Amino acid sequence: MLDLVGQNIGSPAVLTFVLGALAVRLKSDLSFPESVTSLLSTYLLLAIGLKGGLRLRDAAFGDLLLPLIGTLVLGVVTPAVTYWVARRFLARSPSDSAALAAHYGSVSAVTFTAAETFVKSAGTLDENYLAALVAVLEVPGIVVALVIASRVLGKSTFKSAVHEVVTGRSVVLLIGGLVIGFVASEKSAALVEPLFVDMFAGVLVLFLLDLGVMAGSRLEAIRAAGAKLMVFAIALPVSFGALGVVIGTATGLSVGGVTVLATMAASASYIAAPAAVRIGMPEADGGLALGAALGITFPFNLVIGIPLFSELAALAA
C-alpha cells in the first residue's frame, strides 16, 4: 500500500497539483485566466468522451450491462447517504446538505482520469468502456439531490435545475464525445488522435496545476469550517469507495476496473454540481460543498484514495 502511495505521489500529475497549492501558500501570482480554465476543462471532458467512444466500439453489450447497473446504483445511493450524513453528522441545513449530496453523488472526471492512468501503468485494467460509466454517473447523483431538495424544501426550480444538469457543458461534452467516438470511422478518428489522445496527459497536468491553485485558495475556508468537515470529506468518500469495490467486484470488473469504479464513487463533482446547485438551491452554501470537494476530497483521492482502492480491489478479487 505504501509503495503504491509513494509511486502515485511521485507522478507528474500529483506533483503539479501540489505545486499549484504550494504557490498559493507562498503568495505567488501564479493563476490561470478563467478562459484558459474553461478551455482546459472543455478539452479534457471532450477527450474523455471521445476516447471512451472509440473503445466502446469494441465492447460487448453483455460486458457493459452489469457495470452499468452497478454504476446507477451508486448514483442513487451515494447522494442519499451524503444528505443523511450531512444532516446528522455535520448538522447542516437541508439546503446545504442537499448541495453536498449533489457534489458527492456525482463524479469528478479528472479523478476518473487519474485513476485510469494509475491502473493502466500498473497493467491491471482490462475494460475499455469505463468512460461511458463516467457519463452515466455524472447525472443521477445530482438529480437525486435535487429531488431531495424539492421534497424537503418545496422547491419549484426542480425542472430548470435538472435541465441545467442534462444540458450542462460537462454532460454534453462527455456524452457527445462518446457518440462521436463511437460512430466515427477508424480513419477519421486517427486524424484527431494526436490532439485528443497523445496530448491528453500533458493537458491534464496543466489542469491539475490550476486545480491546485484553486484548492490552495480554499484552505482558509476549509479550516474555518472545522474538523468535522475534514472527517466528512475523507471518511465518506472512503466508504463510497469501499462500496464501489464491492459493486465493481460483483459485476465482474477487473482489478483495474474495480479500482476506477471505486474511485469514481469516492470522487466529488466540482464542474456539473456547482452549476446545478446555483439554480436548484440558491440559498445553499455552495462554497462549503465546493471547498470540501475540491480542497479535501480531490487531493485525498489523488494521493491516497486511488492506491487504497487499488489495494482493496486486489484483496476483493
pLDDT on residue 278: 79
pLDDT on residue 1: 60
> Which triple of cell numbers denotes residue 11?
507522478
CA distance 106 to 274: 11
CA distance 143 to 160: 11
Contact 161, 276 (CB under 8 A): yes
CA distance 141 to 144: 5
Placement of cell 471505486 in the chain = 262
CA distance 114 to 120: 10
With a cut of 50, list the residues of the chain below it in pLDDT. Answer: none
Q: How many CB atoms lie within 10 A of CB 315?
A: 10
pLDDT on residue 57: 80
Q: 268-302 pLDDT, tens per residue?
A: 988 788 877 877 788 888 788 888 998 899 999 99
pLDDT on residue 14: 84
CA distance 93 to 72: 27
Q: Which domains does the chain have, with CATH numbers?
A: 30-316 (1.20.1530.20)
pLDDT on residue 157: 60
pLDDT on residue 283: 84
CA neighbours within 13 Å on the CB side: how many for 23? 19
Q: 21-42 pLDDT, tens per residue?
A: 899 989 999 988 989 988 998 9
Q: How many CB atoms lie within 10 A of CB 6?
A: 10
Residue 275 DSSP symbol: H
pLDDT on residue 158: 62
pLDDT on residue 2: 58
pLDDT on residue 104: 96
CA distance 228 to 190: 49
What distances in angstroms separate CA 257 from CA 151, 179, 273, 275, one per listed residue? 36, 22, 25, 29
CA neighbours within 13 Å on the CB side: how many for 80? 8
pLDDT on residue 7: 65
CA distance 66 to 69: 5
pLDDT on residue 195: 92
What's the whole-model pTM score? 0.87
